Amino acid sequence: MNVFRLGLFLLITTVVSAQVPLQPLNAAVLRGSKARFNCSTTQPPSVMTWTVNGRLVITILEASGVLNSTDRFSATNFTTPGDYRWELVISNVQRDDAGEVTCQVLGGAPRIATLSVQERGSVGIIGGNQTKTEGAQTEFQCRAVGWFPEPSVSWSVNGVAYSCNTSSVTQGNLFNSNCTLAVTAVKNSYVQCLVKIPALSTPDSSTVFLTVEKLAKIDQTVLIAVTVAFSAAALLFLIIYGIVFFCKRRKKKSSYQEELRRARIQSQNRTPATENVRGRDNRGYRDRHDGHTNGVWHTNHSNKHQMPDGFFDGHRNHTHMTTV
Ligand SMILES: *[C@@H]1O[C@H](CO)[C@@H](O)[C@H](O)[C@H]1NC(C)=O
Ligand SMILES: *[C@@H]1O[C@H](CO)[C@@H](O)[C@H](O)[C@H]1NC(C)=O
Ligand SMILES: *[C@@H]1O[C@H](CO)[C@@H](O)[C@H](O)[C@H]1NC(C)=O
Ligand SMILES: *[C@@H]1O[C@H](CO)[C@@H](O)[C@H](O)[C@H]1NC(C)=O
Ligand SMILES: *[C@@H]1O[C@H](CO)[C@@H](O)[C@H](O)[C@H]1NC(C)=O
Ligand SMILES: *[C@@H]1O[C@H](CO)[C@@H](O)[C@H](O)[C@H]1NC(C)=O
């Protein structure tokens, strides 16, 4: 009897369970977004209840429709002939909504789905863009901060996936993850850090650029350029210097010669010139007095110490001479 009852119960439960599929059985959503679950039966349910972590949030009566609907918990009728289906919508999902979401129809076993509420944090590559010389060992560090659950971090270099050495710490109920990529600088590349959690259909990413300098080639080019420029400059300088020097020397030489020539001429004229000056002085002196004498300087000059001179200026001349 008991065995029969148990068998009947199992049969009914199986049948009912089969009739109350819950979709999806696992949901991962970002906190603040919406979570949706479908519950359907092949028999019209007189009562359908939805609970979240044991808390009754929605009651649906066949006769009167949805009860206890709030702005966070609502239900939508998707019933089609032969498929009595209701969708639970949880809006602005909170971390404490995470756990079990249960749909139960009167007379049926509860169906349980799991809700995971996740947190989207930030992703960044420390140091940003890098410039390296060819062949240099290069490290990139990606930091994913404030994620839940622990994110899966990976690298992509020019679209090629690279393994990641992740280390994570929890901060409150969030994860901070570091991931280091060590590569050899070969060519200009874009380096992307990808951070993924189930709630994200596409991973979040951060991209930086690795600029590779071909050291040898650059150096040669620079060296050649510098050498050529320097040689040209030196040559130009030499030419200019040479020209200037030549001109100066020539000028100097000519002026020197000119000076020499002038000096020679001067020295030739010097003796008579000085005598002339002296003579003129005397002459002038004489001339002044010649005016008084009305004589010709020549006469006076030749007769310097002659009477007329002495006669007019004897005492003055004498005084003058003694003072000098
Ligand atoms: C529930 O079912 C309806 C109708 O088939 C569909 O439009 C909706 O996307 C489903 N929702 C979920 C969460 O599967
Ligand atoms: C759900 O929708 C179906 C089909 O549109 C309708 O027949 C049924 O009355 C609705 N149920 C409630 C409770 O509104
Ligand atoms: C749901 O609504 C029914 C009827 O309005 C009420 O009796 C019940 O207490 C409500 N349940 C919750 C959890 O608010
Ligand atoms: C890195 O380089 C790219 C292009 O070269 C530029 O758009 C971007 O702003 C740079 N990022 C940083 C952080 O400097
Ligand atoms: C990961 O990092 C740890 C510590 O920095 C190091 O000991 C280990 O060898 C690294 N593993 C790989 C695969 O790079
Ligand atoms: C990540 O790196 C930073 C510095 O680079 C360090 O302060 C932090 O502790 C690291 N976090 C983890 C989880 O290794």
DSSP H helices, the chain, are 2-19, 215-293, 297-302, 307-323
Are residues 186 and 226 in contact, defined by beta-carbon separation less than 8 angstroms?
no
Q: Is the CB of 91 within 6 Å of ligand 2?
A: no
Burial of 257 (0-12, 13-18, 19+ CB in 10 A): exposed
Tell me the mean pLDDT in the region 309-319.
40
Q: Is the CB of 211 within 6 Å of ligand 4?
A: no
Q: Is the CB of 175 within 6 Å of ligand 6?
A: no
Q: Which ligand is nearest to the CA of 188?
A: 4
pLDDT band at 69 (very low <50, low <70, confident <90, very high): confident
Q: Is the CB of 11 within 6 Å of ligand 3?
A: no
Q: How far apart are CA 322 and CA 306, in angstroms?
A: 20
| Helices 215-293 and 307-323, axial angle in degrees (round to 10) | 130
End-to-end Cα separation, the chain, in angstroms: 171
Q: Over the stretch 73-111, which tens digit does the pLDDT of each residue have?
A: 999 999 999 899 999 999 999 999 999 999 999 988 899
- 278: pLDDT strictly greater than 60: no
Q: Which ligand is nearest to the CA of 165?
A: 5
Q: Over the stretch 166-197, which tens digit does the pLDDT of each residue have?
A: 899 999 999 999 999 999 999 999 999 999 99
Q: Is the CB of 293 within 6 Å of ligand 2?
A: no
Could you tell which of 39, 48, 79 is best to mutate to test the pocket of ligand 2, judged by most ligand atoms within 8 Å of the CB? 79
Could you tell which of 140, 141, 143 is best to mutate to test the pocket of ligand 6, judged by most ligand atoms within 8 Å of the CB? 143
Percent of the chain at pLDDT above 90? 53
pLDDT band at 31 (very low <50, low <70, confident <90, very high): very high
> What is residue 83's DSSP assignment?
B
Q: Is the CB of 133 within 6 Å of ligand 1?
A: no
Are residues 135 and 63 in contact, defined by beta-carbon separation less than 8 angstroms?
no
Expressed in angstroms and rounded, the spacing between residue 69 Cα and the centre of ligand 3 is: 9
Nearest in space to 179 (alpha carbons), one of 201, 155, 156: 155
Question: Which domains, and CATH codes, for the chain?
Answer: 2-118 (2.60.40.10), 122-213 (2.60.40.10), 279-324 (no CATH)
pLDDT band at 287 (very low <50, low <70, confident <90, very high): very low
Q: Over the stretch 112-165, which tens digit does the pLDDT of each residue have?
A: 999 999 999 999 999 899 999 999 999 999 999 999 999 999 999 999 999 787
| Confidence at residue 219, expressed as pLDDT on a 0 to 100 scale | 60
| Confidence at residue 243, expressed as pLDDT on a 0 to 100 scale | 75
- 279: pLDDT strictly greater than 90: no
CA within 13 Å, CB half, 194: 18
Average pLDDT, the chain: 78
Could you tell which of 166, 176, 178 is best to mutate to test the pocket of ligand 6, judged by most ligand atoms within 8 Å of the CB? 178
Q: Is the CB of 78 within 6 Å of ligand 1?
A: yes
